[in-house]
Chains A and B, each alone.
Chain A
Amino acid sequence: MSENSSSRRSGFDRRAFVAGVAGSALVPLTARAVAQDAKAPAAQDPALPVDVTLRVNGKDKRLQLDARTTVLDALREHLKLTGSKKGCDHGQCGACTVLIDDRRVVSCLTLALAAEGQEITTIEGLATNDRLHPMQQAFIDNDAFQCGYCTPGQIMSALACVKEGHAGSDADIREYMSGNICRCAAYPNIVAAVKQAAPEIMKG
């Protein structure tokens, strides 16, 4: 490949996409709507915001969102729940980990529309009445963070790790906590925290 005095354009031709855009067979934009919904518009400008109701930490939140909004951006930019962090936006770091219907997922690759009707739990939903969750306390006791940026994701992931039954050994914890990158490298302390909290979480 020669770079010499070549003229280049970024991006590629999008004509390929002009044909066959969402036609009449397609049903509406809001997630709850189904094909049978007669009131649904046949076609709508996809760039317009759509109504979404997200259930976050036990509360329904009505929002108008661009259909492209991820759960992460919905939480951070629209619900001001900034505990979940953006570290890569591509499912490569785990900083945005939340629970959806009690399963840990990366919220950066989850469309808000697709999460409608599901229960989203974030770091803000863990402490009750200002009492820290045992996993939060364990992270403090074991100094399981430094800069703290990955910590909400680590804690949500750790909670799921225990509930999935993957906290039985150090090796298991290490493997099943590997979806959460900690650049400060607090890993040994994170393992210790998960071990400390596991019995209490399994009890209650």
Chain B
Amino acid sequence: MRPFSYQRASDPDMAVRALSAAAAASNPLTKAAAQPLAGGTTLIDLMKLDVMRPAAIVDINSLAQGWSAIEPGSEALRLGALAKMSDVAAHAEIERNYPVIANSLKLAASAQLRNMATLAGNVMQRTRCSYFRDVSYENCNKRNPGSGCAAMDGVNRMHAVLGTSDQCVATYPGDFAQALVALDAMVEITGKAGTRSMPFAQLHKTPGNTPDIETMLQPGELISAFSVPGQWPRSVYLKARDRQSYEFALSSAAVALDVQGGTIRDARVALGGVATVPWRAREAEALLKGQKFDDGLAQRVADAAFADAKGRQHNGFKIALGKRVVMRALQQAVTMEIRS
């Protein structure tokens, strides 16, 4: 871990100023000289590994007073960026009206980490690619642009099959972001110029030729809130993994359905553990709309979701697995009892 200056920001303006001041124009956010510290579960971890080397840390936890509210409404759910994962997961109205959100959070990490990690920090968490996390490997395009990718032909069981490029196959590791992307969430971003909103689906960038640029967030910008339109009581987060708990997904699916009289009026499908970013399977969703559910439909949806998937040496199984996870999540969503 490199030395850094530490300061606490007492309000958003100060945080933004501090983060912007240290920002060099040429650096992507992930290498910005100043990094915000919230729960610290990604930042401190990666600093210890020498993967991240900020010269300044801006502790934004004092902003939680204004930025951690959990506000369910009939039109939309608003979640403060600094709300803790555990608090959101345990919120009764979220459990009732957004089970996909509650469960994506409950099935992530451990109780301790969920107590520390904030929602914004969680969606910004970085890949678990072993080669990215080990600086003794020079060849990581995410860390050292243009240096190559050790994972491509290395041990890549955990790596992505969707959204990959010839530069990077690192998996986006989170769970909650799949729920957000499925539910058409908006993300509110606070920066020097004030506050702007964008669809959450646009926040993360697939690696393409710039795997070091992971999100649309600019240095000096902070996520201040998320909002989720509508209510999705018929929603499921299904996560497959080797261990029963405390493990990143091999494959997961966030599914939300609006079923009326046996007909699917609206459907959302997002995939985790298999893609480089929180992955919305829009073509697959389209097959569901206006249809009555059966297993054949589920199969077609699953096939569509993974139509473009490309496996590598050790992760090819994720395609078949991912399809079965989607099918099962759909079945569970269709048959689940809605608490009113």
Do A and B come together as binding partners?
Answer: yes
Mark A156-200 against chain B: 1 for CB-CB distance below 8 A, else 0: 010011001010000000111111100000000000000000000
Q: Are B139 and A19 in contact (CB under 8 A)?
A: no
| Docked-complex contact B7 and A68, CB < 8 angstroms | no
In whole angstroms, how far apart are the Cα atoms of A17 and B295 in the complex? Answer: 54
Given A26-B56, A90-B48, check contact A105 B18 (CB 8 Å). no
Write out the residue numbers on chain A whose beta carbons fall within 8 Å of the beta carbon of B112.
91, 94, 97, 104-106, 157, 179
Q: Known interface pairs A9-B138, A19-B24, A161-B111. Does A28 touch B245 (Cβ–Cβ under 8 Å)?
A: no
Shortest Cβ distance from B245 into A: residue:
A178
User: Which residue from B22, B27, B37 sits with its C-beta under 8 Å from A26?
Assistant: B22
B40 interface neighbour in A46, A109, A161, A175, Cβ under 8 Å: A109
Q: Is the CB of A20 within 8 A of B138?
A: no
Which residues of A pack against B, CB within 8 Å? 1, 8-14, 16-17, 19-29, 31-35, 43-47, 50, 66-68, 70, 89-91, 94, 97, 103-106, 109-111, 113-114, 157, 160-161, 164, 166, 174-180
For chain B, the count of residues having a C-beta within 8 Å of the partner chain is: 62
Contact with A along B31-52 (1 / 0, CB 8 A): 1011001011100110111100
Q: Is the CB of A16 within 8 A of B10?
A: no
Complex: A97 Cα to B54 Cα, angstroms: 26
Closest CB in chain A relative to B295 CB, distance in Å: 29
| 21 residue pairs bridging A and B, Cβ less than 8 Å apart | A1-B139, A9-B138, A16-B27, A20-B34, A21-B22, A25-B17, A26-B22, A26-B58, A27-B7, A70-B44, A94-B110, A94-B112, A104-B115, A106-B112, A111-B37, A111-B40, A111-B57, A111-B59, A114-B6, A164-B90, A179-B111
Residues of B within 8 A of A113 (CB): 6, 59
**A28 with B111, Cβ < 8 A, contacts A1-B139, A23-B22 known:** no
Whole-angstrom CA separation of A34 from B7 in the bound complex: 8
Given contacts A8-B138, A50-B6, A68-B3, 19 further A-B contacts (CB under 8 A): A1-B153, A1-B154, A16-B31, A17-B54, A20-B23, A22-B33, A22-B56, A29-B7, A31-B6, A33-B7, A34-B10, A46-B3, A68-B47, A89-B48, A90-B45, A94-B112, A109-B44, A110-B116, A111-B40
The answer to whether B59 and A114 touch across the interface, beta carbons within 8 angstroms, is yes
A180 neighbours in B (Cβ, 8 Å): 110
Pair A12/B138 contact, Cβ less than 8 Å = yes
Chain A nearest CB, measured from B313 CB (Å): 13
Do A26 and B7 contact each other (CB < 8 Å), given the known contacts A19-B33, A46-B55? yes
CB distance from A112 to the nearest CB of B (A): 10
Residues of A contacting B: mostly? loop
At the interface, is chain B mostly helix, strand, loop or mixed?
loop
Complex-state Cα separation, A175 to B108, whole angstroms: 11
Residues of chain B lying within 8 A (CB to CB) of residue A13:
144
A17 and B55 form a contact (CB under 8 A)? yes
From 1 to 28 in chain B, residues with beta carbon under 8 angstroms from any chain A beta carbon are 1-10, 14, 17-18, 20-24, 27
Q: Are B116 and A176 in contact (CB under 8 A)?
A: no
In the bound complex, residues from chain B placing their C-beta under 8 Å from that of A12 are 135, 138, 143-144
